[in-house]
Structure 1
Amino acid sequence: MSGEANAGKALTVTVEGTSYARIPIRTRVVMPGDDLDAFILEYAKDAVQPGDLLFVTEKIVAITQGRSFKLDTIAPRKLALFLSKYVTRTPYGIGLGMPETMEMALRECGTPRILFAAAVSAVTKAFGRKGDFYRIAGDKARAIDGPTKGTIPPYNQAVVLGPERPREVAARLKSLLGGDLQVAVVDINDLGGNILGSTMDKAGEKRLVAILKDNPLGQGHESTPLGIVRHG
């Protein structure tokens, strides 16, 4: 079932002279314990065509891998409380700006790496440079999702980590769907995007980031965790 674009966003875009349709796929809310393969077959198999690119949000991959944790099960250490105060918050997501998400970053990435990222960021931020914390902390830290005002229940009371083995997941889903198509596991928001794993080469991934950089599907109540990119 097709969904709607994120508010104010178009469903077509032109990149390097080529027009692409971005087709949202509306689904039910993915729950812990759901089988990703069955979910993809249910919602995407009849929607994709040869030549399409199916993109899957990293959050649903992670949830089906058991990487969603209720806030009340996470006990942040004092270091997490301290570090979370200094994370830049944006209107598009809490990131590591709350003790529970910072605690999970310390567990995922290791305390030394997070401390090093925080130390470098503190210095470079004083010189007007931003983004060094996540550059050093890495994709695992960047992919951690905390609740925002637009988060669909029950994840408005949860922290979701990044997915494990996203490249392998993309390859498996491509094989599952069959035919001439590509698959990508993506982390897209209003600040930009990353391709965590795909069946494409680096040039294809770079092009996909350009196609999706305006975040056409949204991350909240749109309930569109899958989408198709199709040559216009």
Structure 2
Amino acid sequence: MNILIGVGIAIAGLGGFVLFLWLLFEWQYKTRQGNLLEFDSGVWQFLTYEPEHYRLELLLTATNHTRNLDVFLVEVNPILSLLSSDNLDEIHSKVQLRSRHPNTGSRNDNYWESYIVNPNQSTGVEIQIDLSGKNLEELKTAWVRVCYTIYGPAGREEKIKHCIIPLQFPDANQRERWRPTPDADVLPIRTHILSAGDNPVEVMQRYVISHAQAGDIVTIAETPIAIMQGNFYHPSDIKPQWLAKRLCYYFKSTSSLATACGLQSLINESGAWRVAFAFVVGSLAKAIFRVPGVFYMLAGEQARLIDDVTGTLPPYDQFIVLGPKNPQAVVDEIKAGTGLEAAIVDVNDLRRVKVLASTSGVSENLLNQALLMNPAGNAAEQTPIVLIRPNTPT
């Protein structure tokens, strides 16, 4: 009997040891970085900008962020979509792909030759877009989907990098019409369709300075700031998990959290435990105490700011756009670069004005009054900036 007990203890001990090794092995696997190769937002420029001929160059950098593993960039395939206010029948487009590998030549036949990117190293991709035709002035944006395949320890993965390039630029010096409000005049300012290649200070210098004077306040919507920061994601890049798939059904259909991808984007920012806690407490507060909005107070700032698919003008209507990162730093940079007091705001047609960040000389009461009727609009006005001129010095 003692022998049997001893054997049983030995087997149990061996089983526990094997289980420990298995859990350790799984933990190591889960914490490995895998195929962590990513593209940056890219930089672009016009090589030719003539009435019937545009030629653009888009340069992207792919970086292997793993600590000690090679990742292969085995395929790159750019796909171009043009957005226009007119038909595209007479517009012809051509896309050329070239590699920009360190210390090697590049091919000119649009073929991407597999390339090994070493740990913490980068390689470059050059995409040239040639557009010709009679209606180029009607083109608004070029949407480049850079489809690429990476290969490494985590297997073969297909991904897409989305690049939005503006093609139509309003005249910054065009005379605009000021609109009166009780305490200030407001001027909605039209811009090109902003992208991750834009900088908020440069946008203000380009479109606002010619209309502004000392004492003015410049405001910009939160969504364009997030877009310029690259803080938007295509739903195909978001993988909804267990929590998002189940909780999304409890939000109103008009909410940006009513889809699994929309809610998962919040979970990615705030964390699953925080969102779950906010949901439980918010549900109890609403059901028992009739207090709405507790979830949004507890789930993090992004809960109120996320715009799901269709929430923004094309081509961003295909994306989930989050709120801006570090908005206070952005308004401080705008003031330093323009000399104007500045604010980032969230305004809608329901007469709700939320100030995300503002410089020290801004009166929130004045902003609420001046922006109450949403002069920037919520449709396709393409006027994300509103210049405010107080009737009396602030």
Q: Is the TM value for this pair above 0.5?
A: yes
Higher RCO, Cα 8 Å, sep 6+ = 1
Q: What is the identity, as a one-letter code, of the residue corresponding to 1:184?
A: A
Map of 1:143 onto structure 2: 305
Map of 1:8 onto structure 2: none
Question: CA offsets, 1:157-215, max 9 Å, x none?
Answer: 1011111111111011111112xx310011222341321111036x8224423432332
Asked if residue 182 in structure 1 is aligned to residue 350 in structure 2, the reply is no
Cα distance in 2, alignment partners of residues 206 and 105 from structure 1: 30
Q: What is the identity, as a one-letter code, of the residue corresponding to 2:328?
A: R
Question: CA offsets, 1:109-168, max 9 Å, x none?
Answer: 1112211211122112224322111112232221111133x6311111101111111111
Aligned partner (choices 184, 197, 212) of residue 48 of structure 1: 212
TM-score, normalised on structure 2? 0.51
Cα offset, 1:2, TM superposition = 6.9
Cα offset, 1:54, TM superposition = 0.2
Query: Cα RMSD over matched residues?
Result: 2.2
Asked if residue 70 in structure 1 is aligned to residue 231 in structure 2, the reply is no
Cα distance in 2, alignment partners of residues 163 and 81 from structure 1: 25
Question: CA offsets, 1:88-113, max 9 Å, x none?
Answer: 344xxx32222212111001111122
Please, which moves more after superposition, 137-146 or 165-174? 137-146
Alignment of 1:88-107 (within 5 A): 88-90=252-254, 94-107=255-268
Q: How many residues align?
A: 216
Map of 2:360 onto structure 1: 200
Contact 2:347/2:374 (<8 A) preserved: yes
Asked if residue 134 in structure 1 is aligned to residue 296 in structure 2, the reply is yes
Contact 2:188/2:386 (<8 A) preserved: yes
Cα distance in 1, alignment partners of residues 371 and 381 from structure 2: 16
Contact 2:375/2:386 (<8 A) preserved: no
Cα offset, 1:3, TM superposition = 7.0
State which structure, 1 or 2, has the greater radius of gyration over its C-alpha atoms.
2
SS of 1:28's equivalent in the other structure is coil
Contact 2:231/2:322 (<8 A) preserved: yes
Cα distance in 2, alignment partners of residues 103 and 2 from structure 1: 44
SS of 1:46's equivalent in the other structure is helix
Asked if residue 229 in structure 1 is aligned to residue 388 in structure 2, the reply is yes
Q: What is the identity, as a one-letter code, of the residue corresponding to 1:188?
A: V
Matched residues, percent identical?
Answer: 35
Contact 2:223/2:324 (<8 A) preserved: yes
Q: CA 1:101–1:210 in structure 2 vs 1: closer, same or farther (change >3 Å)? A: farther
Hey, which of these two has a bigger chunk of strand by percent? 2
Q: CA 1:190–1:123 in structure 2 vs 1: closer, same or farther (change >3 Å)? A: farther
Cα distance in 2, alignment partners of residues 184 and 63 from structure 1: 16
Cα distance in 2, alignment partners of residues 40 and 34 from structure 1: 11
Aligned partner (choices 40, 55, 59) of residue 223 of structure 2: 59
Contact 1:54/1:228 (<8 A) preserved: yes
Contact 1:183/1:199 (<8 A) preserved: yes
TM-score, normalised on structure 1? 0.84
Cα distance in 1, alignment partners of residues 300 and 180 from structure 2: 31
Q: CA 1:114–1:213 in structure 2 vs 1: closer, same or farther (change >3 Å)? A: farther
Cα distance in 2, alignment partners of residues 165 and 157 from structure 1: 24
Unaligned 5+ segments in structure 1 are: 6-10
Cα distance in 2, alignment partners of residues 82 and 4 from structure 1: 49
Hey, which of these two has a bigger chunk of helix by percent? 1
Aligned partner (choices 256, 281, 286) of residue 120 of structure 1: 281
Cα distance in 1, alignment partners of residues 303 and 354 from structure 2: 13
Q: CA 1:4–1:139 in structure 2 vs 1: closer, same or farther (change >3 Å)? A: farther
Q: What is the identity, as a one-letter code, of the residue corresponding to 1:13?
A: T
Map of 2:272 onto structure 1: 111
**After TM superposition, what 4+ stretches of structure 1 lie above 6 angstroms from structure 2?**
2-5
Contact 2:349/2:378 (<8 A) preserved: no
Unaligned 5+ segments in structure 2 are: 1-173
Map of 1:34 onto structure 2: 198
Contact 2:185/2:370 (<8 A) preserved: no
